[in-house]
Every structure is written in structure tokens, then in C-alpha cells.
Amino acid sequence: MNQPPRAARASDGEAERPDSATPSVDSVTLMGGRRELIIRHGTDAYRLRVTASNKLILTK
């Protein structure tokens, strides 16, 4: 409802193009054959999970 005008939003597919200075890790490498892993960020723990439809879900 309260979205910025189209020109102010990121263009379609822009989030999929990593900046050349940003490190990139393939999900297969990151997951190491597992279906889920825990990512610690400070004092918080996040669960990264591969779904049945092969999508990634990150939950706190």
C-alpha cells in the first residue's frame, strides 16, 4: 500500500546481481550437504533451511 514510486524501488532482478566487491558463496558449499544449519550472529541464532521445494528459509 505505502510503496515508494516505481522509480525509487530496486529494479526487477537487481537483488540477484551481486556487487563485484561482495563475496559470494554457493548454497551447496554453504550447506555442505545438510538441509539446515545454524548461523550465529552476535548473541542471536538463525536457522537456514532448505525447503522441500529447494528454496532457502532463514528464521530467527
pLDDT at 55: 97
pLDDT at 20: 80
Domains of the chain: 27-60 (2.10.70.10)
Better pLDDT: 6 or 58: 58
pLDDT in tens, 4-51: 555 555 555 555 666 789 999 999 999 999 999 999 999 999 999 999
**DSSP 8-state secondary structure symbol assigned to residue 22:** S
Instruction: Give the Cα-Cα-Cα angle 18, 46, 51 (nearest 5 degrees).
Output: 75
pLDDT at 19: 74
Spatial separation of the C-alpha atoms in residues 45 and 31, rounded to whole Å: 16
pLDDT at 6: 55
